[in-house]
Structure 1
């Protein structure tokens, strides 16, 4: 098997054309290729490319291919292809409403398989912190721009993977079949918010889907039949009825931050599980803490630079006589997304004393963790989210000759609620 990378611009047009021609397994068409009835499910925009196209050649003997971020693995059994086939994979924005992380464009969409191939998504502990592994599912976007969910065929709790089998390529996404909304992670002092447990399938379908079952992803629906009770760990007041609950934050930043709101759900044949929403309590701005120190507050803002297709979160303050600042940059428009740290984008920089800065890597070792945008609005409205770096590297920009430019690693945790300025 041969594996290599090719330039995005070379294939972008071809991939777009291939997507339009992709056949859908779940909707019947008339003789003109139009849907014979109303399209069922939520229509969403097609994802925008966010990284390089990766390509591999697999022949009749079969083979496997994993993306460079180790997020997605494709296993092709022997006999699926009758000749050598060039397969391409590209990360794209995940416009699947309950989606987790990036989506992936698998091409060519017109390729048919003699045998089903296996698609395996890896997930992290962080991604199941608001749900549970049994509620994860995988979906593809059909030609009507509706995401079609497929019940997972294999769940590996040890290696943290979920798998499905398919006979076509499309745009694919990992997602939560139900969870607590809103996704916001930050609550202002004294603010009251409404929480709700929702699912994304028709009311007559079991959650999660059984293996191999297909269903269109809809607008979120209340999942009252599954919710047994709500609990609160931390400061504030929680009141609940069925699938809904209201949480009122304290008027001061609590010592234990975030607080945790939990909904116990009973999936009958699957057992009882817990959905958790961690809520950070604070005033408008950016909060950051290093290692086991306390959170400190910075004023901040977020903006989107259209010409560069670049979003940035920036803030700063003076603490103990030192100027401290933070800047986080990521590619694309401001939207609900989860970004894993890389050596490139998203970029993280927390600096102080003008010479020291914590980055998203240490030497060439990228820190585990992510940037999560949990809510966003137009110019003048709030953008909320969290960031976490398990092993951020401290760079000394003024190190003496022969000295160590990387004196230490640090764990960084933060959350923000800032206005969008551009």
Structure 2
């Protein structure tokens, strides 16, 4: 009987050891690819016919490089802006055509991104991604990155719908705060099948970072500024300072273990940083010629340089960009609606000066006897 018991015990241990999996494998079991709709067209296509000698097509920050010999006859290539249906990604997406041709040589797809688009993530966490014919997005793990040129490059033998996505990201409920206010930060990521044998693994859900074995290693830190942090795993509560500091925007960073493809473990570390702008309780923000100007009392040379009356909706400011700006809504009641330029009730008036080149007004009398004129818009 002892021999039988020993045999059964050894058999049970062998079965247990054979079924035991690594933490990464256990966590990957719950990851399922997510099928998403194809994006609708949102803009005109840019097209070009390229023949056997090769060529390039560029539009909207996307470049296609067709090497010589990739096609055997002239082909009409196009870049078509479409809706991005990849959850958790706000990047531009494009339909690259023709879609049903297998190129004889790999063609090159290049996406350019702006520096501001790395806020909350990092350049080495950006990947090109495409949607296959069955509706699944796939992450291009071999994405080539040029941080100086801010480009993402991949080689492919076929076209489809393309975009780019960050594998990890800090999400915040606000990026601008008044002094003393709080912002909630959370670490999010796109699930992919890390142990998949496929070159471009399918993308799963966009969810809270849930790799349980690595959460204790996450570290939140102030990168710059006088704000305070209250870390809690994948979450962090940021409290803005009660007075403006010399550093603005303030920077919050999180250190996260990420998958090391070569070693098949989480020995790599990514540093994600998000900027948080702290403002006083009264401030004015406006955009002129594509440049955003933010004005607060700390920018003032005198106590009178920024005046606002909510009841009369009157703003008079010397802006930090060097401009003088006057905005007034006319009438007795105000709300969130459009106010066309004019000098009657429910209309608005604006005067911008101090540019050293021109003054701009929305209503004027061009000569003493001429009729009053109003700009279009509001």
TM-score by length of 1: 0.56
Q: Which has the higher helix share?
A: 2
- Deviation of 1:96 after TM superposition, in Å, equals 2.5
Supply the distance in 1 between the matched residues of 2:163 and 2:314 (Cα, whole angstroms).
36
SS at match of 1:127: helix
Q: 1:137 offset after TM fit, Å?
A: 0.2
Give 1:64's aligned residue: 56
Following the alignment from structure 1 to structure 2, what is the Cα–Cα distance between the partners of residues 297 and 138? 48
Per-residue CA deviations over 1:299-338 (Å, capped at 9, x if unaligned) read 99xxxxxxxxxxxxxx97333695248xxxxxxxxxxxxx
Cross-structure match for 2:139: 149
SS at match of 2:92: strand
Q: Which has the larger radius of gyration?
A: 2
* Root mean square deviation, CA, Å: 4.1
**1:47 aligned partner:** 39
> Greater strand percent: which structure?
1
Matched, 1:273 2:265: no
Q: Structure 1 residues 101 and 268, CA, compared in 2 at 3 Å: closer, same or farther?
A: closer
Q: What is the aligned partner in structure 2 of residue 347 from structure 1?
A: none
Give the distance between the partners of 1:106 and 1:253, measured in 2 at CA. 47
Contact 2:227 2:238 in 1 (8 A): yes
State how 1:203-218 maps to structure 2 within 5 Å. Answer: 205=194, 212-218=199-205
1:231: how far off?
Answer: 0.9
- When residues 94 and 184 of structure 1 are mapped into structure 2, their CA distance, relative to the original with a 3 A threshold, is farther
Distance 1:352 1:249, change over 3 A: farther
Alignment correspondent of 1:196: 186
- Tell me, what secondary structure is at the counterpart of 1:101? coil
- Counterpart CA distance in 2 for 1:280 and 1:127 is 16
The answer to whether 1:317 aligns with 2:322 is: no
Which stretch shifts more, 113-122 or 220-229?
220-229
Note the residue ranges of structure 2 that are not aligned, 5 or more in a row. Answer: 1-30, 261-266, 287-292, 301-305, 319-323, 329-347, 362-378
Q: Distance in 1 between matches of 2:309 and 2:46?
A: 40
C-alpha contact 1:187 1:281 (8 A) present in aligned 2:
yes
Structure 1 segment 253-332 matched on structure 2, within 5 A? 256-267=247-258, 269=260, 271-282=268-279, 287=285, 289=293, 294=299, 317-319=315-317, 323-324=326-327
Q: Structure 1 residues 254, 153: closer, same or farther in 2, change over 3 A?
A: closer
Report the secondary structure of 1:214's partner residue: coil
**Deviations 1:81-138, CA, capped at 9 Å, x for gaps:** 2211101112234333343532112123233323322211122322224322210101
8 Å Cα contact 2:226/2:240 also seen in 1: yes
1:262 CA displacement:
0.7
User: Contact 1:285–1:297 at 8 Å: present in 2 too?
Assistant: no
Aligned pair count reads: 283
Do 1:230 and 1:263's aligned partners in 2 also have CA atoms closer than 8 Å? Answer: yes
- Are the equivalent residues in 2 in contact too, given 1:165–1:212 (CA < 8 A)? no
Q: Matched residue of 2:206: which SS?
A: coil
Cα pair 1:286 1:299 within 8 Å, conserved:
no
Q: TM-score, normalized by length of structure 2?
A: 0.61
Residues 153 and 211, structure 1, Cα contact 8 Å, conserved in 2: no
In structure 1, the residue matched to 2:68 is 78
Distance 1:62 1:324 in 2: 55
Aligned-residue offset at 1:236: 3.3
Q: SS where residue 267 of structure 1 aligns?
A: strand
